[in-house]
Amino acid sequence: MSAIAETASRGRTRRRRRVDGWQWAGRCFLLFMLLYTALPMIWMLITSIKSGFAATQFPPQWWPDEPTLASYQKLLDPQNSVGQDFLRFFWNSLFVSTVTTILSVIVAVPAAYAFSRFSFPGRNFLFFAVLLRNMFPAVIFLVPLFILMRAIGLVNTHGSLVLTYLTFGLPLAIWLLKGFYDNIPVQLEQAARIDGATRFQAFILIVMPLSTPGIIATAIYSFIGAWNEYIYAYTFLSKNDQLTLPVGIQRFFSENTTDFPGLMAASFMMSVPVVVLFLVLQRYFVRALTEGAVKH
Amino acid sequence: MTIVTGKAEARRRLQPGWSGALRKIWEHRADYAYVLPAIVVMLIVIAYPIYYTVELSFFKTPPGLQLRDKSFIGFDNYTAILTSQVFWKVTWNTLIWTLGSTLISFVLGFATALALHCDFIGRGVLRAILIIPWVISAVAASYIWKWIYHSDFGIIGAVLVGLGLTDRPPNFIDNVSTVLPSLIVVNIWREFPFAMIMMMAGLQTVPEQLLRAAEVDGANAWQRFWHVTFPHLRNVSTVTILLLAVANFNSFIIPWIMTGGGPSNASHIWITHIYELAFGRQRWGVASAYSVLLFLILMTLGYFYVRALSGNERKEGSA
């Protein structure tokens, strides 16, 4: 008895010691990755609180002599023209991303459910056709879509963006959600049907609540995709008051090429909503990937 | 229960020819209603553009989008592309860009996932920080790095000068030989977290018992990784690498914003080149022909992607 305990404890210490080398390598590697990831973002923040003069010094001021929030004040002040533009771009991005997110959840949920539960002819073909959409770059679709949007009068409207954003968010959304539905036992629905619920009621009352994490993950993905999208917005929109943030910022700073603090402040504020959203909801996202995409 | 459906399935499969197929479709008519919205959106935004691109690639098009004046020229656009100098330059760049970004992102992401796979204080925070580059907009990332690489006030240049390695700050992105690697560094910065998330999810599915059994049998950490963990992650790895490869092959924003393809095409990849041909020089026909070639390459990649995915499906079915 004591011999077993002894070998067990010896085994444990030996294991701990043996792993140590690898663990140290892992720690060093993580530190390197942390620096690689974080330093550019820290430099962005430091630059954004410099004055235009302080930013263009050589050697650079590692920490600004006189930190200032002037860039942020300028961007967020509705009184001056820069602030007006920035806030309008911000609002446009928010509007387009929100509408896209809501619509893509409405479209993806029934589709994913059908792909998971029913075995209609052509199911596999349609499923892979949907997935293959992920493979094609925006550029292939750009010219014909531009012509199509012009034909149906959507050029220079946010509708053109919502419609196109829907399609590139959908494949992953459907894929993730399908994984979720695959893992919800059919018996739960069958029990509800036996108790007199229609298929639709069973879906709304049983399946939907259980797949909430998947739906949240889908929504995050759509929102971030729409918020960050650049190429369609760059091509479809030309009126200044309709631009979304990425295009608006690019337009603005191709005219004011030397305002680095302003550019960094704008980049920072453009990143805040998606980063906050992601950090708050990331466990759903990681879980959805685990259950939906990987666990098979 | 399963046996009954199996029999019904078998009986249905015995129905010969078209009438059987049509009946089957009719029997499942209600199911299509669920998929219909997704399919309709996809058709409008995907099938039509693909058809249109293929058609346009056989025409000579006037500048401006006055496409009524186009004239049929057969495969001339394609021969023009394949015989041009720029094509091979851009293809080579695309190859380096895609392979470099994909492989390094995957290795870094996988290694990070492994290093994060044990418990320590601050693990959650660290993971969250590492994911941020993937979440922020590529436009913001491009500007951040453009500022970091800046030839006069860039921080990297300043550090190199401060360490006495160079006399004056090197010009990373206006230099033909350093521009592509510099952009790849930016791309990896944005892409490795995706590989990390995927592989972290994959690692959770490796059964603990197997690892412990291997340990009892005297396998060291590397052997455990190579013989137990890695084979388990083969499918996830394939899917991750393919998704990364496709995303990198299709990337546009980073080269477009940081360099616009310059200097002298040194950082042009296929997508930026096509965009410039179409919307810059208004050569819609040539750009469409390029897109069709791109499409063919992607279909090949897509074949492997679907095969990797249906490999997953099959395993799930047998489990």
What confidence tens digit (pLDDT) does each residue in A82-108 have? 888 889 999 999 999 999 999 989 888
Please list every residue in chain A whose beta carbon sits closer than 8 Å to the beta carbon of residue B116. 30
Taking the Cβ of residue B38 and every Cβ of chain A, the question of whether any pair is shorter than 8 Å is answered with: yes
Q: Do A130 and B32 touch (CB under 8 A)?
A: no
pLDDT class for B64, splitting at 50, 70, 90?
Answer: low
Q: Which of A104, A113, A139, A199 should one mutate to test binding to chain B, selecting the residue with the greatest count of B CBs within 10 A? A: A139
Closest-CA residue to B118 (of A108, A117, A6, A29): A29
What length is written for chain A?
296
**Nearby residues of B233 by Cβ (< 8 Å), 6 or more positions away:** B199, B202, B203, B206
Q: Do B197 and A145 touch (CB under 8 A)?
A: no
Residue B102 has a pLDDT of 95
Q: Between chain A and chain B, how many beta carbons pairs sit less than 8 Å apart? A: 285
- Tell which wins on pLDDT, B107 or B229: B107
Distances (CA, A) of B138 to A237, A242, A245, B134, B145: 19, 20, 12, 8, 10
Asked, for residue A45, whether it belongs to a domain, the answer is: no
Mean pLDDT along residues B132-143: 91
Min distance A183 CA to chain B CA atoms (Å):
11
Whole-prediction pTM: 0.82
Question: Which residue in the set B147, B221, B298 is minimally distant from A264, CB to CB?
Answer: B147
ipTM over 0.90: no
- Tell which wins on pLDDT, A1 or B59: B59
Q: Do A113 and A194 have their domain in common?
A: yes
Q: Do B21 and A130 touch (CB under 8 A)?
A: no
Contact A51, A260 (CB under 8 A): no
What confidence tens digit (pLDDT) does each residue in B20-55 have? 777 777 777 777 777 777 777 767 767 777 888 888
Number of domains in chain A: 2
Joined together, the tokens standing for residue A254 give 């191709």
Q: Tell me the percentage of chain B whose pLDDT exceeds 70.
A: 88
Q: Which of B1, B51, B59, B144 should one mutate to test binding to chain A, selecting the residue with the greatest count of A CBs within 10 A? A: B144
Residue B264 has a pLDDT of 83
For chain A, the average pLDDT equals 81
Q: Tell me the percentage of chain B whose pLDDT exceeds 90.
A: 22
- Domain of residue A8 covers 2-39
Whether residue B165 has pLDDT greater than 90 = no
Whether residue B209 has pLDDT greater than 50 = yes
- Tell which wins on pLDDT, A266 or B303: A266
For chain B, the average pLDDT equals 82
Residue B318 has a pLDDT of 39
Q: Tell me the percentage of chain A whose pLDDT exceeds 90.
A: 18
Contact B137, A227 (CB under 8 A): yes
Asked, for residue A51, whether it belongs to a domain, the answer is: no
**Nearby residues of B87 by Cβ (< 8 Å), 6 or more positions away:** B81
Q: Do A162 and A289 have their domain in common?
A: yes
Distances (CA, A) of A287 to A141, A281, A293, B288: 32, 10, 10, 40
Q: Which of A86-100, A162-176, B149-163, B197-211 has the lowest mean pLDDT?
A: A162-176
Asked, for residue A15, whether it belongs to a domain, the answer is: yes
Residue A41 has a pLDDT of 94
Min distance B1 CA to chain A CA atoms (Å):
12
Q: Give the span between the Cα atoms of B46 and A167, in whole angstroms.
A: 8
Residue A164 has a pLDDT of 84
Mean pLDDT along residues A26-52: 91
Q: Do A213 and A255 have their domain in common?
A: yes
Interface of B with A in 71-90 (CB under 8 A): none
Joined together, the tokens standing for residue A185 give 């036992």
Please list every residue in chain A whose beta carbon sits closer than 8 Å to the beta carbon of residue B162. 59
Q: Do A241 and A141 have their domain in common?
A: yes
- Tell which wins on pLDDT, B29 or A279: A279
pLDDT class for B6, splitting at 50, 70, 90?
Answer: very low
Asked, for residue A49, whether it belongs to a domain, the answer is: no
**Nearby residues of A265 by Cβ (< 8 Å), 6 or more positions away:** A48, A71, A72, A75
Rg (chain B; Cα; Å): 25
Asked, for residue A63, whether it belongs to a domain, the answer is: no
Mean pLDDT along residues A247-265: 84
Residue A242 has a pLDDT of 87
**Which range among A178-182, A253-257, B271-275 has the greatest average pLDDT?**
B271-275
Q: Give the span between the Cα atoms of B143 and A89, in whole angstroms.
A: 18
Asked, for residue A94, whether it belongs to a domain, the answer is: yes
**CATH node for B58-313:** 1.10.3720.10
Q: Give the span between the Cα atoms of A146 and A150, in whole angstroms.
A: 6
Residue A130 has a pLDDT of 60
Position B27: which residue type?
E
- Tell which wins on pLDDT, B286 or B62: B286
pLDDT class for A131, splitting at 50, 70, 90?
Answer: low
